[in-house]
Structures are given as structure tokens and as C-alpha cells.
Structure 1
Amino acid sequence: MTASLNHTEYQRARLTRDARFDGLFFIAVKTTGIFCRPVCPVVPPLEDNVEYFAHAALAAQAGYRPCLRCRPDSAPGSCAWRGTDTTFTRALALLDAGELTTSDLPTLAARLGIGDRYLRRLFQERLGMSPKAYALFTQVMFAKKLLHETSLSVTDIADAAGFNSLRRFNDAFRKQLQLSPSAIRRSRKATPELRLSLAYRPPLNWSLMLDFWRKRCVRGIEWVNGERYGRTFVMRNSAGEQARGYFEVCPADGDHQLQLTVSIDKPVFLKPLVTRVRQILDLDADIQQIEQQLGAAGFHTVLTPGLRIPGIWHPFEAGVRAILGQQVSVAAARTHLERLVDALAEPLNDTHKLFPTPSAIAASDLAMLKMPASRRETLRRFADWYHQQGEEKPVTDWLALKGIGPWTVDYVQMRALGHTDIWLASDLGVKKALAQLTEGTAFDSAALKPWRSYATFHLWHYLG
């Protein structure tokens, strides 16, 4: 069981099928050998026949197979069981993105700055399984999702899930889930685009997120059409391979789901792509818990229900946006970005472009940007540094670059890296909103931890 819920809360949540608990725990039924999500529509089993697990992988490890009706592979993720250990959280994010499909455990541990023995111990203590076992389970569950929802061939699905052979895929599928891929596969009409469901725990203020993006969309890179948000992307893995494409997200027919439509040139990147899309949409946040804490800390008058943090696709792009947005309005920053994209972006197709690369920006005189020369120099300096060494360096290293200060670094950590506890105390908008909220009295942000990034966005929206 998770530490955040007691037995009575588990029981109440499963009997009421409360979607706010979807993904926070899983229900295993001893008499059937099946594990489900709290929202499963089947007749609830007797309490004596139920076991609760904090993660689907733990239920599978205990010998239960996933329900084919509620599909645990489609549940939103949960951060509750991760704790506050930054290293563990980073390791999970890399494994979820398929890091072990292109590298090994010692390489992953070195990237995290720890030894592989300590990494194994960390996973055993926190999750009760090894990093490799966790990674294999996520691969198999993603493959199961593709079998349910797409018309990809089983061979392509095995490739997309990170398996280097069909035989290994079939063997892992049976061992992990006690099912065969053929038991999942349904006949589907082939389509040029992939469509997948993205579940979330309510509330989600989708219209608010769309409004935020609509004001900041860069022509050719992003778009908001009706209820749809879309953008182009480039993805790279640790082996140096690259994938390109675009995606769109809109509300789905099912409750508490979005629909993701993807066009990608290499299906092997599908798993990290879906992980990244969930991150920039902030779909795995437990908004109910966050809003309860912010409200208790005195923010109840500024809370906008369902507000989530809209992410930026890549840290480099976020850095460029932050530099070009310094001391100008949102509209002016957008104009600068569109001029940069028009001049330096590589086309993806007849309609869409890819965000300019660090090398393209570093090699340009940036004359298209009508701004102080010092800011153009900051952008060129940043792009050149990123091109030379920035991909693997922490964002905090940017502070050594002339023209980049703490606000820029914090902004990027909040919007591109998904840090939940960034407090932009020096931000003018935050200061103005706080002055209205507290009527000029001193404010201690400690009570808002670890959700100060959300508090920042609530203050911006309140001011706007």
C-alpha cells in the first residue's frame, strides 16, 4: 500500500470508482488473479478477496494479470510513491523514457552520478524491484497499450516498446502479464497516424491550458485549433538516433481522457514520446492534493480549479523563449520567436517546421531580431554553449553564461523539466499578485512546498 492512503480510503475509492484516485493504487482480486484500476466498471469484489498495490508493477510481480476491461496500462501515473529523492525521480523518468533500451545499467547510474549497486538498492528500497525489472514492466505495459489502441503490426509494436527481437517480446509479455500478445490484439483498420488515449485524474482545466498556449504559439511550430493543441518535435536518444514528427492532443470521448494523435518517422521513439507528452501536459499531477495544500496555505482565493503547468518541449527551446521574453510582453516575445523560426527553422513538411537548432542560432548574426545587441549576444552565446556541451549539462550550469540569471534557470526548470517547487520570488507578476493577496504583509512560501511552481502559475492567472 502507499503511505498516503489508509485501508478505509482505498476501500471507499474503489467502491465509488472515484477517478481522482485513478493510478494512485491498484486493486488485485485473489479469486480471479486479476488486478484493476479503481475506476474499473466490474462488480466490486468482497473486501476479503482484495489486495491493494501502490504500483501496477508490484501487482504483476505478485502474480496477478492486468484486467482487459479497465486496462491498467492506461492509468495515469502517480508520483506519491516516489518520495522526494531527486535521484530516484530522475531514474524513473529515464526508465519511463526507455533509457535501458539503448544503454545499460552502469551507464544509467553514471548519468545519475551514482554507482549501479546503489541504484539497485535504491529501487529495491523504494519500489521493491530492480531497475531492470521496472523498465521491462513499463515496456510490456506500453506494448499492451499499443496492441489495444493502434493498428501497428506486432513486430512494429515490439520495436516501439524497445525489444530487439519478436521472440524476446513474446516471452517477456507472457512472463510479465501472463497473457499473449495475440490475446490482446484486435483487428483495426490501418491509419497513417497513431491515436492513443491519455488518462488523467480530474480536475483538468483544458480550456485554461489551451488559452495559455494560444497566446504563445509560435507559427509553424505550435498550433491551437478549436479544442486541439499540436506541435512539432525532434527526439534524440543516448545512442545518437533521432526521430521527427508532430502530435496533436484533444479531449477524448471517454471520461478523464485526452486523445493523442501522432505522426512520427521512427516508431521506436513512441514510448519516450508518450512519456514526454504526458510531462508537458502535466497529466500525472495529483491536482486534488496540490490544490488542497495550496488552499490550506492561504491561496484559496486565487486557486483556479484544474490548473496544470503547461510544459515546453525541450530545455533548449525553453531557454531561448526565456531569453527572448526578458523585459517584453508575451506578444512581443512571440514576435521575436516567429522571426527566429522563419529565418532559421528547418521544415518538417509543407506546413510545419522544427524549432531552430543550437548550431543554427549560434551561426546566425540574429539580425532579424529587433532587440538590444546585448540580448542577441546572450542568445548566440547560449546557443553556442548548448551546441558544444549543453545537452548533458544541468540547467544550473547556465548561470555561468553572461546574460542568464536565476529567473531564466528557474523558469526553464519549471516549464521544461517539470520541477514542482520553483518559486519565482523576483518575478514582477508574482510580486504584484502577492501584494494583492496579502495586502502588503510579508509572505513565507514555505507552506506551499513542494508545489510552489503551481502557486506561481495560480498567481499569474489570478493577476491576468
Structure 2
Amino acid sequence: MLTPERCHRARLARDARFDGRFFTAVTTTGIYCRPICPATPPLERNVVYFESAVTAAQAGYRPCLRCRPDSAPDSPAWRGTQTTLERALRLIDEGALQNGSVAQLCERLGIGERYLRRLFRERFGVSPKAYALYRQSLFAKQLLHQTRLPVTEIAHASGFNSLRRFNDAFQRHIGLSPRAVRRESGEGDSKLSLHLAYRPPYAWSAVRDFFIPRLIPGMEWVDENRYGRCIQWGSAKGHFTATHEPQRHGFRVELELSDLRALPPVVRRIRQLLDLDADTRTIEAHLAATVPQLTLVEGLRLPGVWNLFEAGVRAILGQHISEAVARNLTETLVTTLGEPLEDSTGQARYLFPTPERIDASDLAFLGMPSARRATLKRFADWYYQSESPDDSKAWIALKGIGPWTADYAALRGLSHPDIWLGGDLGVRKASKLLDDFDPAIAAPWRSYLTLQLWQHLWRSH
């Protein structure tokens, strides 16, 4: 938690770099705000600071209708560094307690219910279920503000099985009725369009230029200010287009999705893909101190892919060949085995192939060595059968997959912050330009160092 003195200075300056890192509650109004709130700053004697929206709400404060604390980017510092808690938060955010019980969540985590409840009490002062309901209510509040979806559809999209349960939970956790929030907002789009914020700066041009040479036509699209792609989450299928809006410190994301119940995890996956929750000021301050000879690109983010399986397939296809050839192979795989996607534009679009479809094919249409086709089929079969397929370190046991493939997939498929691609040719070349270079000192941000070195190499050419 930041000191009260730093929070005081940040809120008076409305410094966007602190957005999501703390929240300001006003004792005289009972409202809590983001540090960038446009309202007249309250007197310091009437202010209490909280490190998360959850703890502010637990203390009895309502979210501000002007700055909308539900839109603030999550802070990695708030989410914590304890592996079990971080994984529990991720699973809850993906709907684990909407579709299952606390006992089932604990079974997936390999811990007891009592221990999980203690973790949440110590960290947030609430139970896991109360945390889940609050996050669902905040997401519903964002939809009420930013879309014109009917309240019943918003309840459904936020994970509530009935309108009555939604109204009760929303009133309890937000302090207002859903219809009161809708009246106050008085805006929104008839399309499903959301604003996803980040802490500036954001080096969009670097992210865009990373996407362009790896773009898979029919599955992805990109232009000067936009990136979009086809997506699938469970049985829900659709696509999104994210438009960079630097003046608003965020992206406007338009979505088409066949099942709105998948909307919360889909939005969180889009945030991960665009690396919207990174605190690049903190990351780059660490890198500047540990690798001072490297000129850093401000606001550099990790350009992701939709999921770890896709990242693994693309990494396997890219082994020992040029970027252009790898892209062509991936395009052939997508257009041959990917499911065609119907959308309102009438364009030919495709989903990335599932593990089952790749495993069921002989892949003879791919112009590459039979050994690599066998590796791809082996990987798809293992991913489909495994109980923990997202443990990329376990992939190394599969014939044909080495550390570079597993690490590259984790960097792009999980947005893992601490992957060092020391075996990458570009990283090795860039590292030679630095004196007395030890990548270990850059932990826990070695993924960002890897990206910075690639940028350094491209600029030097």
C-alpha cells in the first residue's frame, strides 16, 4: 500500500499512473473514487485510502458515478504475489464460483476451505463468495454505464441466474439499484462496446508493429489504431475489435459474442492479451536501474495471443523457420481446420482450431517436415487429455518441444512477466551490445526485458 502522503499528492494531481493502485473514500459522502476523479478534491481530513475497491466497499462506501471505480485497471500489487491467492482470484474471475461451489474451487486449488477463507479474510476482509459477488456487481455496473443492454441481459452476462438475485446483490454491494445507475449514466451504446482502461504510458505503436507481421488473415485484423480477432470461450464464439484511445488512457472494445454469460472472462482475457494491467512505470524503473545501458521504450507491453494452446501451436510452427513462413503455415492451419465464424459483417472469418481438430487431422496439407507435424499432433493430443494443460513447463517432456517453445508460449499465451528467452537469436544478438549483462537481475520483469531487447535490435537496424 502506498503511504497516505503519496496517495494525497497523487489524487490532488489526478495522476493517471496511480489509477487502480489505490482508491479514495470520502467519509462525509460515503463514496469512494479513483485518484483521477474529476470531482472537486475533498479535504484531506475527510479522506480514507484503500488499496482495492473490494476493501472500500467492505468498509461501507459506494462507488462514485463520475469516475466509476469499476473501470480502473487492476493493480498487480493489490492482487498480491502469493501463488495460491493469485490463482484463486483468477479462477473466481473466470466464473469458478458462478458455476461451482467453494469446495470445488478448493479442490482445483489443492487446499482446504478453511485456508482459502483465511486467505481472503486476511487480504480483503471478505469471504471468497462475497468477493465473487462484488466483482460480478462491479462488472454489471460497467455494463450499465457503457452499454444499452437491457438490465435482464446484464444480469445474465454478469453471472446471475435470476433478476431478483442480481438486484439484491447489486444493492448490497454497490449501494444503489441497477436502474438507478442506468438513470444516472444516461449514456451507452446499442452495440456491446466497453472502455478498458490502462495506466499510461502505453506504447501502442510497438504492440501494433509486433502484431502486423504475425497477423493471421481471416482470424485477426489490425490497422493504425485497432486490433481485432475471432475468439472462443467454452461454447461462446465471436470476435472483438479494440480501438486505442490514448486521450482516454484505454481501448474502446466492440464485441460480438454468442453467449453473454462468457462476457466477464472474455473481457479479462482481452485485458491480458493487450497487457492492460501492467504498471510500466514500475517495471521500467526497475529495468533502468538494473540495465542502465539499455535505452527503454516507454510503456512497452507484452503482445499476447488468445490462449496458451494457440501460443504453443504457433511456437511449434515457428521452430527453425522465418517469421513469414511460420505465419503462412499458421494461416493454412487456421483456414483448413478452423471453424468458420458467422458475424454481422459478412466477412470470411475463422476460429483458431481446437486441440481435438488438430489431433484428428494428419496435417498433410502443411508443407513442413513430418517430425514437426508429429510434434504438433502429439502436443494437441496431450493438451486435450491433460488435467493441467496450462503448465507450459510440462510440455518439455514431449518430444519435439524444447525450453524456447514452452517459454515463448508462456510469454505470449499467459502474458507471464518473468520469461527470459535467452536462447532466442534476436535476444542473443541484442545482448551482445550490452556490457557485463546478467539477465537474472531483471527479475521479475524479464519478459519486458526480452521485449525491450527485441525493440533495441529492431531500432539498431
TM-score by length of 2: 0.95
Question: Would you say the 8 A contact 1:345–1:353 is kept in 2?
Answer: yes
The answer to whether structure 1 residue 65 and structure 2 residue 58 are counterparts is: no
> Aligned letter for 1:453?
S
CA offset at residue 334 of structure 1?
0.2
CA offset at residue 317 of structure 1?
0.5
* 3-state SS of paired residue (1:215): helix
> Aligned letter for 1:207?
S
Q: Distance in 1 between matches of 2:421 and 2:49?
A: 39
The answer to whether structure 1 residue 345 and structure 2 residue 338 are counterparts is: yes
**The one of 152, 161, 164 aligned to 2:161:** 164
| CA distance 1:130–1:189, shift in 2 (3 Å) | closer
Aligned counterparts, 1:182-261, within 5 A: 182-186=179-183, 191=190, 193-236=191-234, 242-252=235-245, 254-261=247-254
Aligned counterparts, 1:46-445, within 5 A: 46-186=43-183, 191=190, 193-236=191-234, 242-252=235-245, 254-299=247-292, 301-349=294-342, 350-389=347-386, 392=389, 394-438=391-435, 441=436, 443-445=437-439
Q: Share of identical aligned residues, percent? A: 56
Mean Cα deviation higher: 138-147 or 88-97: 88-97
Cα distance per residue 1:42-96 (max 9 Å; x no partner): 1111111000000001111101101100010111111112332122111111112
| CA distance 1:400–1:146, shift in 2 (3 Å) | same
| CA distance 1:227–1:390, shift in 2 (3 Å) | farther
> Aligned letter for 2:362?
D
Question: Would you say the 8 A contact 1:208–1:307 is kept in 2?
Answer: yes
Question: Would you say the 8 A contact 1:200–1:283 is kept in 2?
Answer: yes
Q: Which runs of 5+ in 1 are unaligned?
A: 237-241
* 3-state SS of paired residue (1:185): helix
Question: Would you say the 8 A contact 1:294–1:300 is kept in 2?
Answer: no
**The one of 5, 20, 23 aligned to 2:17:** 20
Question: Would you say the 8 A contact 1:244–1:264 is kept in 2?
Answer: yes
Question: Would you say the 8 A contact 2:146–2:188 is kept in 1?
Answer: no
Cα distance per residue 1:232-280 (max 9 Å; x no partner): 01102xxxxx100000001237521210000001111111111110011
Match of 1:239 in 2: none
| CA distance 1:127–1:288, shift in 2 (3 Å) | same
Q: Number of residues paired by the alignment?
A: 452
Question: Would you say the 8 A contact 1:347–1:353 is kept in 2?
Answer: yes
Q: Distance in 2 between matches of 1:124 and 1:390?
A: 30
Match of 1:449 in 2: 443
| CA distance 1:359–1:390, shift in 2 (3 Å) | farther
Cα distance per residue 1:179-205 (max 9 Å; x no partner): 1111111456773x3100001100001
* 3-state SS of paired residue (1:223): strand
* 3-state SS of paired residue (2:129): helix
Question: Would you say the 8 A contact 2:145–2:187 is kept in 1?
Answer: no
Q: Which runs of 5+ in 2 are unaligned?
A: none
Question: Would you say the 8 A contact 1:197–1:252 is kept in 2?
Answer: no
Mean Cα deviation higher: 176-185 or 425-434: 425-434
Q: Distance in 1 between matches of 2:247 and 2:261?
A: 27
Q: Distance in 1 between matches of 2:166 and 2:313?
A: 41
| CA distance 1:371–1:156, shift in 2 (3 Å) | same
Q: Distance in 2 between matches of 1:30 and 1:368?
A: 66
**The one of 27, 34, 37 aligned to 1:37:** 34
Q: Distance in 1 between matches of 2:19 and 2:306?
A: 26
**The one of 452, 455, 460 aligned to 2:454:** 460
Which runs of at least 4 in structure 1 moved beyond 6 Å after TM superposition? none
